[in-house]
Amino acid sequence: MQIKRGDQIINLVGQPLAVGDALPNVELLNQDRQAVQLGDYINGVSVISIVPDINTKTCSIQTSRFNQLANEKDYPIITLSNNQPEDIVNWCSSNDVDMVYLSDLNGQFSQASGLLMAEYDKLARTVMVVDDDGVIKYIEIVADMRDEPDYGKVLEAADRL
């Protein structure tokens, strides 16, 4: 699959996850650098917001928006990126954000999900809604990495479950 950033074509490595696929239960790092399993964070319907780099404008906007929504909704919203856990802690602290944010520093999710951007060695901007069994019910792989996801469609999908 290909996405883009402006006029630049970006190739995803492998076959990206799709509706009906099980969310890979891989090892990630929490903000304390402790190894955790992604599946341990799926408690009922969950939204997973994936950003390439928290220290960029669009990723910051997306994460801040989902943080606001997490305070309004009854389901968890988990953010995932390739950033160092220290970067995540610093960003959350400077933006007054308190949310579940996991690091795929070891690349297990990137490889298992097919969402690794070959040209950047980072995750592609993606949002998923999974049910309580960890099955993907909605996924948006944002076509242009400069764009934000469609928040309305994400919430609509999560609210239906």
Name the pLDDT band for 91 (thresholds 50, 70, 90): confident
Is 72 a residue whose pLDDT tops 90?
Answer: no
Name the pLDDT band for 38 (thresholds 50, 70, 90): very high
Enter the tokens of residue 36. 């955790």
* Strand order, beta sheet including 116-117: 2-5, 8-13, 116-117, 122-123
Which has the closest alpha carbon to 101: 127, 75, 82, 74?
Answer: 82
Query: What sign results for the dihedral spanned by CA atoms 15, 55, 130, 141?
Result: negative
Catalytic residue among 26, 38, 42, 59: 59
Please indicate whether residue 92 is annotated as part of the active site.
no
CA distances 91 to 27, 31, 75, 154, Å, are 22, 11, 23, 24
Percent of the chain with pLDDT over 90: 78
Is 135 a residue whose pLDDT tops 90?
Answer: yes
pLDDT of residue 109: 97
Is 39 a residue whose pLDDT tops 90?
Answer: yes
pLDDT of residue 46: 95
The predicted model scores a pTM of 0.93
Name the pLDDT band for 98 (thresholds 50, 70, 90): confident
pLDDT of residue 116: 97
pLDDT of residue 73: 86
Name the pLDDT band for 67 (thresholds 50, 70, 90): confident
Average pLDDT over the chain, rounded to whole?
94
What single letter denotes the amino acid at residue 158?
Answer: A
